[in-house]
Amino acid sequence: MATKIAQLQDRAAALAGLLEENAKVEERNADVEARQAELVAEAEKVQADLERETAIQNKIAALRGAVSKSAAPVEVAEAPKPVAVSREAKRYTNLRGFDNSSDAEACGRWIRGYVLGRSEDRAWYEKNVEARALSSNDNSKGGVLIPETFAASVIRLVDEYSSIPQQANVIPMSAPTLYIPRRTGGNTAYFVAENSETTNSDMTTDNVMLSAKDVRVGTRVPNSLIDDSAVDLASLVAQEFALAISKKIDDAGFAGDGTSTHGGIRGIQWKFENETLTAGIHNSSQTAVTSLTVDDFLTAVAKLPSYGRARASWYVTPQMYALAMQSLALSSPGSAAELMNGVNIPRFCGYPVLFNNSMRTTASTNQVVALFGDLSLSTHYGLRRNVAIRASTDRYIEFDQTYFQATVAFDIVTSDVGDASTAGPVVALIL
């Protein structure tokens, strides 16, 4: 009985919120008035049910009180205790988009409650998660902001899937454009004789400009799918958005050619293939990737200046690693045994191998096979706005679909890769 009363009280609270929200609509059309009438009718029924259940509960209490005062009490068989229903959130598995099932269910409930207007899910979210100031979100004015748990999941996955945010120099941008001072030349020390004048020298600098670019990804989902499994859907959308954003970031940072496809960004691989950076390039003169030798890679290593070696790594795709490097690594003593035993930490010539999926998977003449050095010294990843996600049921209302959109603002600038006479903190091996 108490459980029934609690359910009615929860429903009454949800209806009160919906009626209040509907009452704020200034221009009411027929649909709004009809919805308001439905809510009022349901509210009256819930109120009547709640009064009836409360009266029954009070009557039971009164009867038990009268029995306890009787001189010859009559034994009343105790009603069987209702089986307690666990209020623990349903456990979901294989939700790679979230750290835990609780966040996943909260996000799924939020989508159904605040995007689709399901009052039961909205009441659940307000009661079990946190009563945030969500009433300011207006679905009719371009969509509602998805809760932080959803956006945080996408951000985490972007950082996990993308190589540039992990390996480049990450710089938060407080404005759409940011200038970073860069040292281009230093002071010079001189030997001088006693009582001689000191020869002065000046340090020279310039600026690296980061200009944030907006990137968006959107998809529409049938509302029936959200009704059936909003939790699994939230996990799937988080993964898909993260993969799309990660690919765009890495494609621009490694292979960007300066066109609108890559937001005007020129990637580090493109620079080695199209600019005069001969001091930091080893041209192997081989005709095929599979013909490369250990000496070709060591010659590239030899070109890297000492300041780029402390955290130096190889940057390559898994396919190129398998074709050009793994066979050479397996020919060294102990490597084959490690691979057979399942211990195959990617290293080559003593340095870690860091994979990405945007550089070349195979190469022809004058194309990059692998990069070597410290990407955090050559490439800047400016993050103006982290991932934010919105949802709207209005855009595709005729299809009964909900539109989800993720946005992020960033820029990538590779500013230090040397020139024709001086190698930079990253060097390249090309065919």
Q: 69: Cβ–Cβ under 8 A, 6 or more apart, which residues? A: none
Task: Inform me whether the pLDDT recorded for 353 exceeds 50.
Answer: yes
Say how far apart CA 332 and CA 327 lie, in whole Å. 9
Say how far apart CA 148 and CA 152 lie, in whole Å. 6
In the chain, the number of structural domains is: 2
Report the pLDDT value the prediction gives residue 91, as an integer from 0 to 100. 44
Q: Can you read off the two tokens belonging to residue 398? A: 């005729």
Please state, for a pLDDT cut of 90, what percent of the chain lies above it.
40
pLDDT per position as a tens digit, 273-310: 999 999 999 999 999 999 999 999 999 999 999 999 99
Which domain covers residue 390, as residue numbers? 146-189+200-431
Band of pLDDT at residue 65, cut at 50, 70 and 90: low
Residue 382 forms beta bridges with which residues?
A: 171, 411
Please choose, from the candidates 389, 349, 382, the residue with its C-alpha nearest in 3D space to the C-alpha of residue 147: 389
Report the pLDDT value the prediction gives residue 308, as an integer from 0 to 100. 95
Question: Is 136 part of any domain?
Answer: no
Same domain, 50 and 164: no
Residue written as token pair 């029934």: 4
Q: What mean pLDDT comes out for the span 141-157?
A: 64
Question: Is 141 part of any domain?
Answer: no
Same domain, 54 and 150: no
Same domain, 222 and 367: yes
Task: Inform me whether the pLDDT recorded for 332 exceeds 80.
Answer: no
Same domain, 365 and 244: yes
Q: Collapse the DSSP code of 303 into the 3-class scheme (helix H, G, I; strand E, B; otherwise coil) and give the result.
A: coil
Question: Is 114 part of any domain?
Answer: no
Band of pLDDT at residue 389, cut at 50, 70 and 90: confident
Same domain, 54 and 153: no
DSSP sequence for 382-420: EEEEEEEEEEESSTTGGGTEEEEEEEEEEEEEE---B-S
Same domain, 180 and 54: no
Same domain, 274 and 178: yes
Report the pLDDT value the prediction gives residue 88, as an integer from 0 to 100. 38
Q: Collapse the DSSP code of 134 into the 3-class scheme (helix H, G, I; strand E, B; otherwise coil) and give the result.
A: coil
DSSP alpha helix (H) spans, 162-293: 164-167, 223-250, 268-274
Report the pLDDT value the prediction gives residue 154, as an integer from 0 to 100. 78
pLDDT per position as a tens digit, 185-241: 778 898 999 888 998 888 777 889 999 999 999 998 888 877 777 677 777 788 888
What is the separation of C-alpha 123 from the centre of its chain, rounded to a whole number of angstroms?
Answer: 28
Say how far apart CA 423 and CA 379 lie, in whole Å. 15
Q: What mean pLDDT comes out for the span 246-251?
A: 96
Report the pLDDT value the prediction gives residue 419, as an integer from 0 to 100. 94
Strands 313-316 and 351-355, sheet pairing? parallel
Q: Can you read off the two tokens belonging to residue 51? A: 């009064």
Report the pLDDT value the prediction gives residue 333, as an integer from 0 to 100. 63
Report the pLDDT value the prediction gives residue 100, as an integer from 0 to 100. 65
Say how far apart CA 20 and CA 36 lie, in whole Å. 10
Report the pLDDT value the prediction gives residue 298, as an integer from 0 to 100. 96
pLDDT per position as a tens digit, 264-274: 999 999 999 99
> Which H/E stretch holds residue 128?
helix 119-128
Question: Is 342 part of any domain?
Answer: yes
Report the pLDDT value the prediction gives residue 15, as an integer from 0 to 100. 76
CATH number of domain containing 244: 3.30.2400.10
Question: Is 405 part of any domain?
Answer: yes
Say how far apart CA 104 and CA 291 lie, in whole Å. 49
Same domain, 48 and 153: no
Same domain, 247 and 377: yes
Same domain, 308 and 429: yes
Q: What mean pLDDT comes out for the span 56-83?
A: 58
Burial of 396 (0-12, 13-18, 19+ CB in 10 A): middle
Say how far apart CA 273 and CA 12 lie, in whole Å. 67
Residues composing the chain: 431
Same domain, 330 and 205: yes
Q: Can you read off the two tokens belonging to residue 47? A: 């109120």
Report the pLDDT value the prediction gives residue 344, as an integer from 0 to 100. 59
Instruction: Provide the mean pLDDT of the chain.
Output: 81
Please choose, from the candidates 358, 357, 356, 182, the residue with its C-alpha nearest in 3D space to the C-alpha of residue 270: 358
Q: 389: Cβ–Cβ under 8 A, 6 or more apart, which residues? A: 145, 146, 150, 151, 154, 241, 404, 405, 406, 407
pLDDT per position as a tens digit, 77-129: 454 444 433 333 444 445 555 666 677 777 777 777 777 778 888 888 777 76
Question: Is 383 part of any domain?
Answer: yes
Identify which of 174-183, 317-326, 381-390 has the greatest average pLDDT: 317-326
Task: Inform me whether the pLDDT recorded for 334 exceeds 70.
Answer: no
Please choose, from the candidates 246, 254, 247, 243, the residue with its C-alpha nearest in 3D space to the C-alpha of residue 370: 254
Helix pair 101-110, 148-161: axis angle to 10 deg: 130
Question: Is 222 part of any domain?
Answer: yes
Instruction: Name the residue with higher pLDDT: 294 or 327.
Output: 294
Say how far apart CA 384 and CA 406 lie, in whole Å. 15
Report the pLDDT value the prediction gives residue 341, as an integer from 0 to 100. 53
Question: Is 69 part of any domain?
Answer: no
Check: CB of residue 187 under 8 Å from CB of residue 155.
Answer: no
pTM over 0.95: no
Say how far apart CA 118 and CA 108 lie, in whole Å. 12
Q: Please give the single-letter amino acid code of residue 80.
A: P
Q: Can you read off the two tokens belonging to residue 362? A: 């195979």
Same domain, 383 and 261: yes
Q: Collapse the DSSP code of 3 into the 3-class scheme (helix H, G, I; strand E, B; otherwise coil) and give the result.
A: helix
